[in-house]
Amino acid sequence: MSTSSVSKGCFVFKSNFKKRKTSVPVEDYFNKGKKESEDSKLRFETYQSIWQQMKSETERLQEELNKNLFDSLIEFLQKSHSGFQENSRNWGYQIKLREIPTAALVLGVNVTDHDLTFRSLTEALQNNVTPYVVSLQARDCPDVKHFLQKLVSQLMDCCADVESKEEESVNITQKKTHCSMDSLSSWYMNVTQVNVN
């Protein structure tokens, strides 16, 4: 007697995730299936040379574009800070002292490397305007609480760096800083008063 099965099945076996695709070096694409000849070596070296030239030219152009943008932002921020310091006794400027000078830079999807752009901007601002620069990313700030925590912690790190550069003794408590708009405002008032004096 033979047995027959009424149901038939299709079974899917997942591949082993530990297997990796073997990457072929770029040189092998030029020599694939042929003996290595002088022409293929020359072609590959030419390719590498041209690619490096294109890459360096693109980086130079990106730096030039960023420099124009950064110069505009730095000029805005320097003007906003100098106005506060020069007219600190003026009533109108005392009201503005309660505001934090802010500029927003929004990059589109066509900018190739956002991280590099923001790191360069942060460095330019720290060198030319103020050491108190904070860079926040949307993924780190899902709500106001996390936003304030990131903001205040980065500002306190800046504060510790500046004070250590001035060779003052700094006692930083390991206790978590209370993050609120009041604490941020009082910190800003203290920093601006210290810088004015």
Residue-by-residue pLDDT tens, the chain, 197 positions: 455 445 556 666 666 666 566 676 766 666 555 566 777 788 888 999 999 999 999 888 888 888 888 888 888 877 776 655 555 566 666 666 666 677 777 777 776 678 878 888 888 888 888 788 888 888 888 888 888 888 888 887 765 444 444 444 334 443 455 777 888 888 878 877 766 55
Question: For 153-177, b where at least 16 C-beta lie within 10 A, e where not — what string?
Answer: eebeebbeebeeeeeeeeeeeeeee
AA identity, residue 163:
E
Length of the chain: 197
**3-state per-residue secondary structure call for 44-60:** HHHHHHHHHHHHHHHHH
Q: Kindly write down the DSSP assignment for every residue of 165-181, as one continuous string.
A: HTT-------SPPP-SH
Tell me the pTM: 0.53
Question: In Å, what is the CA distance from 101 to each residue of 10, 21, 42, 161, 186?
Answer: 65, 51, 56, 21, 15
